[in-house]
Amino acid sequence: MQEFEMDDLKTSIVRSLDGQNEALFPHLAYLLQDLWEIGASPGHFIQLICKNDLENKIAKAVDLGCGKGAVAIQLAKNFGWQVDGFDAMPAFIQEARQWSKKHGTENVCSFNVCDIRELVKTAGRYDLVILGSIGSVFGSIEETLRAIRPCLFQTGYVLLDDGYQKSETIHSLHQIPTRENAIQHIRKAGFVIIDEITYSPDFISASNQEIYSAIQHRVLELEKKYPETKQLFQNYLAIQRQENSALENDITCVTWLLKYSVDHD
């Protein structure tokens, strides 16, 4: 594992997984052990790729903040692409490699531990950059897209899974942009929206319930093992409930297919 500022990195990882206390970091792998898909929907990515006839326009993709590899593996399996996945959680990368073997994609998928904030400066160029619900690791949507530009061929695409407010009220947990502001961020970064899929309320509700139940089960186990830190785990569950409420009532989740605008250069 390369050298990077671990304190800052731990905070970034915890926040990207809906936590607020760095003390959760050693427990994240245990809390999330029952979940393979963390965040973005591989199905939405596949739909957008097929709908826009990109199967043969992409040969090599990179998944930044790949988690346990669910998106990378399913894209490689469906389209035969080379997909490189990177994440700062060693436990996630280890599991991603195991899943890749199970799905027979170990020859076309690679998974490595790194700080993606540093990786984007030297990773080389890809036909597709995948940003699957990574939150504010790079900053705002505009800052994120500017940061990943060095990884993208001029003719390349971006799959961005994110969200925007349903109203003008800023949600208390995050500085979520309105749809208008999100689109402005995308345009200012030099990208155009080719297509999008909005998550249905039923999908969000079912996903939230599945994820919360899995985490709650593991929280109960950790509370028995570490009774002195019970409040830490209860706070994490409380944040999950707040996040779920926001996702179901205040935020529209969306997957965008983006392309860099040559006219922007």
- Tell me the pLDDT tens digit for each residue of 140-154: 999 999 999 999 999
Largest separation between any pair of C-alpha atoms in the chain: 59
DSSP single-letter state for residue 178: B
- Give me the pLDDT at residue 163, please: 94
Q: Rounded to an integer, what distance in angstroms lies between the CA atom of residue 228 and that of residue 150?
A: 46
- Give me the pLDDT at residue 69, please: 97
* Res. 124: pLDDT tops 60: yes
Distant-in-sequence, close-in-space partners of 179: CB < 8 Å, separation ≥ 6: 164, 165, 252
* Res. 86: pLDDT tops 60: yes
- Give me the pLDDT at residue 209, please: 96
Q: Which tops the pLDDT comparison, 40 or 10?
A: 40
- Residue 265's pLDDT band (cuts 50, 70, 90): low
DSSP single-letter state for residue 5: -
Q: Is 38 exposed, middle or buried (0-12, 13-18, 19+ CB in 10 A)?
A: buried
* Res. 3: pLDDT tops 50: no
Asked: is 26-199+253-258 a CATH 3.40.50.150 domain? The reply is yes
8 A C-beta contact, residue 132 and residue 65: yes
Q: Which tops the pLDDT comparison, 133 or 197?
A: 197
Q: Which tops the pLDDT comparison, 167 or 111?
A: 111
Q: Rounded to an integer, what distance in angstroms lies between the CA atom of residue 80 and that of residue 178?
A: 36
Cα dihedral 188, 191, 196, 201 sign:
negative
CB burial string 222-243: b at 16+ within 10 A, e below = bbeeeeebeebbebbeebbeeb
CA angle 81, 115, 261 (to 5 degrees): 55
- Give me the pLDDT at residue 18, please: 66
**Beta pairing partners, 253:** 163
* Res. 262: pLDDT tops 70: no
Instruction: Give mean pLDDT, residues 86-100.
Output: 96
* Res. 2: pLDDT tops 60: no
Domain boundaries, the chain: 26-199+253-258, 203-244
* Res. 132: pLDDT tops 70: yes
Instruction: Give mean pLDDT, residues 109-121.
Output: 96
- Residue 173's pLDDT band (cuts 50, 70, 90): very low
Give the tens place of pLDDT for each residue, 214-235. Answer: 999 999 999 999 999 999 999 9
- Give me the pLDDT at residue 5, please: 46
Instruction: Give mean pLDDT, residues 100-112.
Output: 98
- Residue 6's pLDDT band (cuts 50, 70, 90): very low
Q: How far apart are the first and last CA of the chain?
A: 35
Structure tokens given for 192: 């155009």
8 A C-beta contact, residue 73 and residue 109: yes
Instruction: Give mean pLDDT, residues 166-170.
Output: 69
- Give me the pLDDT at residue 17, please: 66
- Give me the pLDDT at residue 136, please: 85
According to DSSP H, which parts of the chain are helical? 6-16, 28-31, 42-51, 70-79, 90-102, 116-119, 141-148, 179-188, 201-225, 230-249
* Res. 82: pLDDT tops 80: yes
